[in-house]
């Protein structure tokens, strides 16, 4: 079932000297449960594309259709609600809340969704244990290494069991063993819960796990391959 469509998507950034077309008339669609990697050189438009899919940035032209709804036309409040219930984000910069512990960071989205405290706590600890840092549940981000913070960010993205997880270089600060563990966890959730994963990555280990690889250069899709 097709759950996401990008139609004639364009993103132009203007500054005082030059106009940059970061995304240039892209058409893509995704089926429920895909495990896809968007690859390409730095500046190719990968992150911009993810940000627009997630409703964090508005396209200059085009449409983003999720379950037959054009999210580009949603009001700010409806867009916030859409993200809350449909999308999990993993940012390269982690974006953890510094005054909250690891467990509280993972619980935060579930609290916004109105889930009860017991359910939030159990789900948060399940995920922190799964990514190998259950013993750091009470630590704040400043007491965690970069790799540990990234694991918390991944756990947080998965906590609400979203329809989509959008991950921008999710393995950038992880060693090989941690990367394999996280990718295995995400792959398992993808298969068991039918969550759609879309990665932006330079990491060949992520590409090797993907069942679809989309290559972007200069804002264009130059290759789109499904892997059996």
Q: Residue 96's pLDDT is what? A: 93
161 and 86 Cβ atoms separated by less than 8 Å: no
Stretch (H or E) spanning 53: helix 46-53
Q: Residue 176's pLDDT is what? A: 84
Q: Residue 16's pLDDT is what? A: 63
Q: Dihedrals φ, ψ of 95, to 5°?
A: 55, 40
CATH number at 121 reads 3.40.50.300
Number of structural domains found in the chain:
1
Residue range(s) defining the domain that contains residue 19: 2-226
The pTM assigned to this predicted structure is 0.88
Q: Residue 104's pLDDT is what? A: 97
Residues 6+ apart with CB under 8 A from 46: 38, 39, 40, 168, 200, 216
CA atoms of 89 and 95, how far apart (whole Å): 10
Q: What is the pLDDT along the chain (228 residues), one digit of tens a residue?
A: 788 999 999 999 887 677 888 999 999 999 999 999 999 988 888 989 999 999 999 999 999 998 888 999 999 999 998 898 889 998 877 789 999 999 999 999 899 999 999 999 999 999 898 888 899 999 999 999 888 888 898 889 988 888 889 999 888 777 888 788 888 888 888 888 888 999 999 899 999 999 999 999 999 999 999 987
Q: Residue 185's pLDDT is what? A: 81
The half-sphere exposure of 198 on its side-chain side, counting CA atoms within 13 A, is 25
């Amino acid at each position: 079932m097709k759950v996401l469509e990008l139609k004639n998507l364009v993103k132009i950034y203007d500054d005082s000297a030059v106009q940059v077309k970061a995304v240039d008339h892209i058409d893509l669609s995704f089926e429920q449960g895909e495990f896809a990697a968007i690859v390409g050189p730095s500046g190719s438009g990968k992150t911009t594309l993810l940000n627009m899919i997630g409703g964090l940035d508005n396209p200059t032209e085009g449409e983003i259709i999720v379950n037959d709804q054009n999210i580009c036309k949603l009001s700010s409040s409806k867009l916030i609600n859409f993200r809350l219930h449909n999308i999990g984000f993993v940012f390269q910069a982690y974006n953890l809340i510094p005054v909250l512990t690891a467990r509280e960071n993972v619980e935060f989205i579930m609290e916004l969704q109105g889930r009860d405290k017991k359910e939030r706590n159990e789900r948060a600890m399940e995920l922190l244990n799964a990514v190998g840092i259950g013993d750091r549940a009470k630590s704040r981000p400043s007491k965690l290494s970069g790799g540990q913070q990234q694991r918390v960010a991944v756990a947080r993205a998965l906590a609400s069991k979203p329809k989509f997880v959008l991950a921008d270089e999710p393995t950038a600060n992880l060693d090989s063993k941690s990367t394999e563990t996280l990718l295995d966890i995400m792959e398992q959730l993808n298969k068991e819960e039918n969550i759609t994963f879309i990665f932006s990555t330079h990491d060949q280990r992520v590409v090797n796990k993907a069942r679809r690889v989309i290559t972007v250069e200069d804002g264009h899709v130059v290759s789109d391959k499904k892997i059996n």
